[in-house]
Amino acid sequence: MTRVVRQPPAQPLARTRARLEGTTLVELTGLSRDRLLGMYQRMALIRQFEEQAAALYRAGRIRGVTHTYQGQEAVAVGATWCLTEEDYITSTHRGHAHVLAKGADEKRCMAELMGRATGYCRGRGGSMHIADLSRGILGANGIVGGGMGIAVGSALASDLLKNGRVTVCFFGDGALNQGILHEVSNLAAIWRLPCVFLCENNFYGMSGPVDNMLALGPDGFKGRAQAFGLPAVECDGMDVIDVFLGVREGVERARAGEGPTYVFTHTYRFLGHHVGDPLTYRDKEEPELWRRLDPIPNFGRLLVEQGLASTQDLADWDQEASVRIAEAVRYAESSPEPSRDTLLEGLFG
Amino acid sequence: MTRVVRQPPAQPLARTRARLEGTTLVELTGLSRDRLLGMYQRMALIRQFEEQAAALYRAGRIRGVTHTYQGQEAVAVGATWCLTEEDYITSTHRGHAHVLAKGADEKRCMAELMGRATGYCRGRGGSMHIADLSRGILGANGIVGGGMGIAVGSALASDLLKNGRVTVCFFGDGALNQGILHEVSNLAAIWRLPCVFLCENNFYGMSGPVDNMLALGPDGFKGRAQAFGLPAVECDGMDVIDVFLGVREGVERARAGEGPTYVFTHTYRFLGHHVGDPLTYRDKEEPELWRRLDPIPNFGRLLVEQGLASTQDLADWDQEASVRIAEAVRYAESSPEPSRDTLLEGLFG
Amino acid sequence: MRGEQIEERSLTYAQALNEALREEMQRDARVILLGEDIGVWGGGGVFGVTKGLLEEFGAERVRDTPISEAGFTGAGLGAALAGLRPVVEFMYVDFSMLAMDQICNQAAKIRWMLGGDVSVPLVIRAQQGAGRGNGPQHSQSLEAWYAHTPGLKVVMPSTPYDAKGLLKTAIRDDNPVVFLEHKLLYGTRGPVPKEDYTIPFGQAAIVRQGRHVTCVALSYQVHKALEAADVLAEEGIELEIIDPRTLVPYDRETVARSIMKTGRLLVTHQAPERAGFAAEVVMCALEDAFDYFDAPPLRVCGKNVPIPYSLTLEAAAIPQTEDLVRAAKRLVEGVPLGGRRS
Amino acid sequence: MRGEQIEERSLTYAQALNEALREEMQRDARVILLGEDIGVWGGGGVFGVTKGLLEEFGAERVRDTPISEAGFTGAGLGAALAGLRPVVEFMYVDFSMLAMDQICNQAAKIRWMLGGDVSVPLVIRAQQGAGRGNGPQHSQSLEAWYAHTPGLKVVMPSTPYDAKGLLKTAIRDDNPVVFLEHKLLYGTRGPVPKEDYTIPFGQAAIVRQGRHVTCVALSYQVHKALEAADVLAEEGIELEIIDPRTLVPYDRETVARSIMKTGRLLVTHQAPERAGFAAEVVMCALEDAFDYFDAPPLRVCGKNVPIPYSLTLEAAAIPQTEDLVRAAKRLVEGVPLGGRRS
Ligand SMILES: Cc1ncc(C[n+]2csc(CCOP(=O)(O)OP(=O)(O)O)c2C)c(N)n1
Ligand SMILES: Cc1ncc(C[n+]2csc(CCOP(=O)(O)OP(=O)(O)O)c2C)c(N)n1
Ligand SMILES: [Mg+2]
Ligand SMILES: [Mg+2]
């Protein structure tokens, strides 16, 4: 096995910095200062959540399998920052971040990971199934590609109900090889449905490296969208602003009734596929290279440079995030296990 | 429902005629006179087979559903004329022509359609399941897209066994929307398997017109192949020589170890999806336009022009075809029904 | 039994289904249809079940889909979660295998898995069964798979009356329902009231009363059982025919009560015998009425073989009236079976 | 029973499977492996079953596939038709739903459908079962679906010894075999001979002899049954535990003979009870030995609910040792059930 070491972009936030020549972040994005700072805060919250989840898993206090998201936070936050609370997302096995970014309550998320009755699924689903329909979160999913059909379905409903809602369908590079993606891309294209197919290329499935697993043509990832006549954008998945701008293009197109868009983000999971991954398949050096692009501190620095925050603010928000997550853990731990008698409740309703 | 009337190419065999400027059919194709005449003869045989199958179905002597191929003969014959007996094909619900072109015995085919013990499947499969592994025919298939996995599998086996065999995977425009095509295209591409994906676009699924059902990008059908980095050829599916040349490109690439190729042929089924199709979904005029492109008489005329055959020869071959098929029908009719006691035979072996 | 609801008008099974769809679509704008060739083909579907609906409700609500079973089933599920009440059609149930993940990993589980509060008003209609020479990949009966999957309701109407009433119930249900129609039933006729009616899930129909043998028959086999009952009646053997109508929920009480009367149980379906639903019917009956069995229960089901194309073989592979007659006689005559102590 | 073949060496179930794969790959160059993360991940598969095989046989024969379940299953089938003997792996059986058409419409039917002369030497291995908190989409047991599909052989080994011997038989078989491994078994140890041996399909193992209750247990439940037997033994109740090992073909004689001795039948599997294979076990036993039943047969199976994530709920959803103990006692005490005549 020869292992390719994937080189990250040379400079953190290179695209955003290029776009910022002669303008400000507020102007470039059209986002208020608060929303911009919110990006940092939410990324920090997600990072904390994942760190704690991994720690709890290692301590044997979370069972099953837990897939964490450290390194990819810019994607979940950049994308969901384009959406209203009514808009929909579908997520994946690596879904904590998506749902937290879309506004799920970290307490109930953590409770779900710990299998408690107060969790989003009452402890029935665990890490891979968190959903909150009141916030348009149609669910993480244990099946790679399992949410794609749901995504075009919610887009179809929005289209028929004319409620203006957009669906963002998150999936990984590995999921690019699932047949259902082909089917729903075609469906969404012929029906011009309001959805955005958002691929997070983190260069690996579990151990399957994108180079060996994914056949691409001269147009690379975009060719997979062009095959259906769909517009495609490629984004730096370590750059929350670049993701935001890319996904916003798709969301605007969807809201304007112009149909679906593909957004390909290139990002990296700093850690293993799941907590406990023996990581036999990638070079140790590779994550080190990518950590320099860490979307959180780099974006923090940009906020400081832009005069939107101080270094102290960043430290405070990091601190706040860890306090909130610590509270979430306490909440989860003090929550009851679901009782055996509830096993069959709500199977049908 | 507005119905688009699809205009056929203006002139029959236009591409072949253009290529023939200053050369002969034998030189252009590298095929012997006998092989060239064989193309006509086989197309005529297939046409007769299908006409008889339809007549028998209407007379209630074939049960189930029968999908006939009149109009598309150039595709089956042009494609299989690139193959050796050892090469593989996988076929579809509309498979009589593919298997006959690949050398299946018309008697045993007809016997299968009539559900007889002498049929290729001993009457167990019927129209949609004819196979002959001794001739590399891996089976027609009742599931749209059902043969695609088998095709990359036989290509994988050929690759590992280094036996030089190529697999041609036949499928329709409707099958372009099945997810498994996406999966196997990717597999065949990353593993550089010796296979040719041969799409017969006859503009309809059952009633689903390709315009409404198939999303394509600026590169049209070819874009579906380019997405995987696969080369693609487009052919006039009413022109047996154009199909032959196009598929040969793919077969040569496969034999040279250069991996899969897509061939898109544009063709037309003169009759309904199956015998008895109410044909509510297409304009009556459309088949009339396409009948002018009928691949058999037009190719016959070319053979005459090329001095390879006389008009009388053509008439004789047509006559021979109908005699052979009449014999096949007699063979089938005089064959026994499979006996009830054989029901469980060979379920496992 | 159901006599009081019967009036003069008679419809085919296909027409009854068509009426149910039409009325529910009129009643509720959220009901939409998704499937292959349900719109423009032949004026509305291969069996005419969706006839005229495209014209009445338009292409937005009656969607001819590409050949993408997994994709359009997923779309139905997503639409159900987001406010519509989709009815997804498989032209043949055999094709539902392409959407198995969407049906059984996704649709079946999502309500319960998310805590039980999510509505999943999705109906999956499929045509199934053997008897028309459609061959091994177009003739299967898959009710056992779906019944084995927690979270799905499973419906198998055998008459036009039931077809209409149960389909309406299915569409109004907030859970995923797999609705299985037998291909040989579409052309059968029977009384169907004009007025709006629904049939509750989980209530078996006693199709014919009798004292000697309880025959639980699924779908098309109800009609074979009726034929058998006529033959048996001439020999003084009375068959009590029960059509469960829904497998999930399943009305075990009606079956148990019948066995307490007859002491004998015969179960028939077209699906292969091995691990088919008949074994479940028997098991439930044993749990409820073990001591009432005077003879070992019998199954008259499909052979454990793919459905053949040829007429002769197909007939041999699926249970026929004579098989039911023979089995009922065996039950009554108490011929020793297996290890019966003599 | 199987004592004579036992020698000193002890392996885990995963190691036994690994050895079977290795030896068969050494023996026959046509054997290849296809599946997700079977090569580079962790040195050979999520559970170590394919450990070291990539290194020994190379990436041509040990193929890490993309996440394309339908595609690589189809590829396995096509390769089987064209001269190889592929072993396809599903990381979790739940994912086999994505390949259902390839398995059940294609692989299962092709030999019979083409007249019976075609070889289909395809093994489909899958890891299944609950008990590790993997949640609703990673914990199912799907043996009943596959057993219901004519043309598939279905294997469920419960010990390292059986795992190795049955996997070798599967690989040498010219028919499609669905080989189901339980996730909780991989780490279990047991004696496994070094020498080449195979175990014929269709021969149940009497895992423990006893006079009072016949307990047919599938896969992991064999171990629960052994635990229950120990508890019951203290109260003087002897459980005879039978592991069918293969569901298709199924050894009905061994079960019938046991019931003729015990008069009581208990069947246990983790899959949901409704339309599960337990009902089939009971049905076969009734057909063979109706008059020997002294009490209604009992099932101790999974609840009809998706498998929950939480420890408490998961334990409540799947059958436990105590449930078996309770059921066995009920059988012996002859507590009236259902409509038992008093
Ligand atoms: C249908 C299916 N196949 C396989 C798996 C096992 N699995 C879980 S995640 C994963 C890799 C997914 O890769 P990708 O889509 O790139 O997402 P990432 O893990 O990189 O976020 C695999 C193979 C699964 N859950 N579902
Ligand atoms: C999986 C599946 N879905 C649907 C069908 C029903 N069906 C049979 S042929 C057909 C249309 C196929 O269209 P295409 O691939 O273009 O082939 P053509 O009939 O035009 O030759 C359909 C929908 C089927 N047999 N299998
Ligand atoms: Mg990835
Ligand atoms: Mg077509």
- DSSP letter at C121 equals -
Q: Confirm or reject: Cβ of A198 under 6 Å from ligand 1.
A: no
* Rounded mean pLDDT, C22-48: 97
Q: Is pLDDT above 70 for C161?
A: yes
Ordered by where they begin, the domains of chain C are: 4-191 (3.40.50.970), 205-334 (3.40.50.920)
pLDDT digit string, tens, across residues D234-279? 999 999 999 999 999 999 999 999 999 999 999 999 999 999 999 9
pLDDT tens for residues C283-338?
999 999 999 999 999 999 999 999 999 999 999 999 999 999 999 999 998 644 33
SS3 C213: strand
What percent of chain A lies above the pLDDT cut of 90?
97
Q: What is the pLDDT of residue D7?
A: 54
Degrees to nearest 5, angle at CA D150 with D145 and D156: 50
Over residues B213-224, mean pLDDT: 98
Catalytic residue, candidates C19, C69, C89, C143: C69
pLDDT band for position B81 (50/70/90)? very high
Please compute Rg for chain A using Cα positions.
Answer: 19
State residue B5's pLDDT score. 85
| Chain B / chain C CB contacts < 8 angstroms | 137
Q: For B101-125, what is each residue's pLDDT tens digit?
A: 999 999 999 999 999 999 999 999 9
Q: What per-residue confidence (pLDDT) applies to C4?
A: 53
For residue A129, what pLDDT band results from cuts at 50, 70 and 90? very high
- Kindly report, residue by residue over B135-148, the tens digit of the pLDDT: 999 999 999 999 99
**D318 and A130 Cβ atoms separated by less than 8 Å:** no
**Ligand 2 atom 23: the closest Cα is on which residue?**
B206
- How far away, in angstroms, is D115 Cα from ligand 4 center? 29
Q: What angle do CA A246, A252, A258 make, to 5 degrees?
A: 115
- Name subunits touching A (3+ CB pairs < 8 A): B, C, D
**Band of the pLDDT at D336, cuts 50, 70, 90?**
very low
Which of A116, A275, A281 to mutate: most D Cβ within 10 Å?
Answer: A281
φ, ψ at D60 (rounded to 5°):
-70, -40
Residue C2 confidence (pLDDT): 46
Read off the pLDDT of residues D201-221 as tens digits, 9 standing for 90 and up.
Answer: 999 999 999 999 999 999 999
How far is it, in rounded angstroms, from Cα C75 to Cα A160?
A: 13
Judge whether D212 counts as a catalytic residue.
Answer: no
Walk me through the domains of chain B, giving residue ranges and CATH numbers.
32-333 (3.40.50.970)
Alpha-helical (H) ranges within C188-269 are 221-234, 252-262
- Across all residues in chain D, what is the average pLDDT? 95
Residue of chain B whose Cα is closest to the Cα of D248: B348
Q: Tokens 């991954």, residue?
A: A277
Q: What CA dihedral angle connects B53, B59, B63 and B66, to 10 degrees?
A: 40
Please state, in angstroms and rounded to a whole number, the distance separating the CA atoms of residues D94 and D98: 8
Per-residue CA distances from C30 to B63, C61, C197 (Å): 40, 9, 20
pLDDT for residue C1 is more than 60? no
Q: How far apart are CA C323 and CA D25, in angstroms?
A: 48
pLDDT bracket for residue A10 (50, 70, 90): confident
Q: Which pLDDT belongs to residue D8?
A: 76
Rounded Cα–Cα distance for residues A241 and A265 (Å): 12
Contacts of C138 (CB under 8 A, 6+ apart): B64, B65, B128, B142, C92, C94
Check residue C245 and give its pLDDT.
98
Residue B262 identity (one-letter amino acid): Y
pLDDT-derived band at A3, boundaries 50, 70, 90? confident
Phi, psi torsion values for A4, nearest 5 degrees = -80, 135
pLDDT averaged over chain B?
97
Longest dimension (CA), chain D: 68
pLDDT at residue A2 in the model: 57
Whether residue C26 is predicted with pLDDT greater than 70 in this model: the reply is yes
The model's confidence at residue D338, banded by pLDDT at 50, 70 and 90, is: very low
The answer to whether D127 and D183 have CB atoms below 8 angstroms apart is yes
Question: Distance between CA C22 and CA C28 in Å, rounded?
Answer: 10
pLDDT tens sequence across C88-115:
999 999 999 999 999 999 999 999 999 9
Give A344: exposed, middle or buried? Use CB within 10 Å, 0-12, 13-18, 19+.
Answer: middle
C touches which chains (3+ CB pairs under 8 A)?
A: A, B, D
User: What is the C-alpha radius of gyration for chain D, rounded to an integer number of angstroms?
Assistant: 20
pLDDT at C3 over 60: no
Nearest-angstrom CA–CA distance, B124 and B108: 13
Residue C69 bears catalytic tag: yes
Please report the pLDDT score of residue B2 as a whole number: 57
Query: Other CB atoms closer than 10 Å to residue B59's CB: what's the count?
Result: 8
Residue of chain D minimizing CA distance to A145: D67
What is the arrangement of strands in the sheet containing D246-248, beginning at the earlier edge strand? D62-64, D31-35, D85-90, D123-128, D177-182, D153-155, D246-248
Contacts of C141 (CB under 8 A, 6+ apart): C93, C128, C129, C130, C180, C182, C219, C269, C270, C271, C302
Out of B90, B93, B202, mutate this one to test ligand 2's pocket (max ligand atoms within 8 Å of CB): namely: B93
CB atoms within 10 A of CB B188: 31
* First-residue to last-residue Cα distance in chain A: 52
ipTM value greater than 0.95: yes
Q: What are phi and psi of A123, to 5 degrees?
A: 80, 5
Residue B69 CA to ligand 4 centre (angstroms): 11
pLDDT digits (tens, 9 = 90+) for B303-325: 999 999 999 999 999 999 999 99
Q: Coil, strand, or helix at residue D65?
A: coil
Three-state SS annotation for chain A? CCCCCCCCCCCCCHHHHHHCCCCCHHHHHCCCHHHHHHHHHHHHHHHHHHHHHHHHHHCCCCCCCCCCCCCCHHHHHHHHCCCCCCCEEECCCCCHHHHHHCCCCHHHHHHHHCCCCCCCCCCCCHHHHCCEHHHCECCCCCCCCCCHHHHHHHHHHHHHHCCCCCEEEEEECHHHHCHHHHHHHHHHHHCCCCEEEEEEECCECCCCEHHHHCCCECCHHHHHHHCCCCCEEEEECCCHHHHHHHHHHHHHHHHCCCCCEEEEEECCCCCCCCCCCCCCCCCCHHHHHHHCCCHHHHHHHHHHHCCCCCHHHHHHHHHHHHHHHHHHHHHHHHCCCCCHHHCCCCCCC
pLDDT at D4: 53
The residue ranking higher by pLDDT, B28 or D340, is B28
How far D75 CA lies from chain B's nearest CA (Å)? 4
DSSP letter (8 states) at residue B137: B
| Cα–Cα dist B65/C132, whole Å | 9
**Is residue B232 exposed (0-12), middle (13-18) or buried (19+ Cβ within 10 Å)?**
buried
Is B179 in Cβ contact with A183 (below 8 Å)? Answer: yes
Task: Pick the range with the lowest mean pLDDT from A2-11, B42-51, C146-155.
Answer: A2-11
Q: How confident is the model at residue B9 (pLDDT cuts 50, 70, 90)?
A: confident
Residue D96 tokens read as: 């086999």
Q: Which two tokens stand for residue C17?
A: 């289904």
How far is the C-alpha of A31 from the C-alpha of D257, rounded, in Å?
77
C189-191 and C10-12 strand pairing: antiparallel
Q: What's the mean per-residue pLDDT of chain A?
A: 97
Cβ A47 under 6 angstroms from ligand 1: no
> CA-CA distances (angstroms) from residue A122 to A137, A265, C292, C330?
16, 33, 43, 52
Nearest-angstrom CA–CA distance, B143 and C95:
7
Expressed in angstroms and rounded, the spacing between residue A186 Cα and the centre of ligand 4 is: 16
d(Cα A320, Cα A323) in Å, to the nearest integer? 5
Order the strands of the C153-155 sheet from edge to edge: C62-64, C31-35, C85-90, C123-128, C177-182, C153-155, C246-248
Cβ-Cβ contacts under 8 Å for B36 (sequence gap 6 or more): B25, B26, B29, B303, B308
pLDDT at A135 over 50: yes
pLDDT interval class at D339 (50, 70, 90): very low
Chain position carrying tokens 């398949």:
A281
User: Are the beta carbons of D240 and D110 closer than 8 angstroms?
Assistant: no
pLDDT tier at B211, thresholds 50, 70, 90: very high
Q: What are phi and psi of D212, to 5 degrees?
A: -100, -40
Q: Is the peptide bond before C249 cis (omega within 30 degrees of 0)?
A: yes
Residue B70 contacts by C-beta under 8 Å, 6 or more apart in sequence? B47, B50, B51, B269, B270, B271
Q: Tell me the C-alpha to C-alpha distance, in Å, between residue A252 and each of A153, A192, A247, A257.
A: 19, 13, 9, 9
pTM above 0.95, yes or no: yes
pLDDT at A5: 85
Q: What is the pLDDT of residues A37-86, one digit of tens each?
A: 999 999 999 999 999 999 999 999 999 999 999 999 999 999 999 999 99
Query: What is the Cα–Cα distance from D255 to D237, expressed in whole angstroms?
Result: 18
- CB C293 within 8 Å of CB C263: yes
How far is the first Cα of chain B from the last one, in angstroms, to the nearest whole number?
Answer: 52
CA dist B342 to B128, B346, D129, D319, Å? 21, 9, 38, 42
- Name residue B247's beta-bridge partners: none
Tell me if residue D10 falls in helix, strand or coil: strand
SS3 of D155, please?
strand
Span A260-311, pLDDT tens digits: 999 999 999 999 999 999 999 999 999 999 999 999 999 999 999 999 999 9
**DSSP-derived 3-state class of residue C332:** helix
On whether the CB atoms of residues D126 and D89 are closer than 8 A, the answer is yes
Residue of B nearest to D175 (CA): B348
Look at residues D216, D196, D195, D337 and name the one whose alpha carbon lies nearest to residue D286. D216
CB nearest A349 (choices: C80, C83, C111): C111
Q: Which pair of structure tokens corresponds to residue B45? A: 């045989």
